[in-house]
Amino acid sequence: MSEVFEDLAGLNKLIHEPARLAIMTALSACASADFLYLQRLTGLSKGNLSSHLTKLENAGWVHIEKQFVGKKPQTILSLTQNGRIAIEHHWQQLQNLRDNAQNWQATDD
């Protein structure tokens, strides 16, 4: 069982935070999304979402592009190649954790 807890402790905390996990998961399902969509999805305030996106950008996982549509500013977010690899790896780790935990229950019986 200690192996399961070690695996749990080994999860990347930058991705594993619920809001950032939601952001990364959403961006992995599309080519790009704008700031408003991610804000609707997460329910976060502008400042809070910006803070999370900055952390992900600093990690090299999210690309932030600011542009103008007419006179209106628009922020487009997308995953970098490293970001796609990171989120795929993270979900795989979670799946492995789940499988290991279920196997532990079976053997304990």
**Chain residues that interact with other proteins, rule: CB under 8 A:** 18-19, 21-22, 25-46, 50, 72-76
- Nearer to other proteins by Cβ, of 46 and 89: the residue is 46
Smallest distance from other proteins to CB 12, Å: 15
- Nearer to other proteins by Cβ, of 44 and 62: the residue is 44
Smallest distance from other proteins to CB 108, Å: 28
- Nearer to other proteins by Cβ, of 18 and 107: the residue is 18
The residues with which 75 forms a beta bridge, in sequence order, are 66
Cα 88 from chain centroid? 10
Query: Which amino acid type is present at position 96?
Result: N
Are 49 and 33 a contacting pair, CB within 8 Å?
no
- Enter the tokens of residue 16: 């594993």
Number of Cβ within a 10 Å radius of residue 95: 10
Smallest distance from other proteins to CB 87, Å: 10
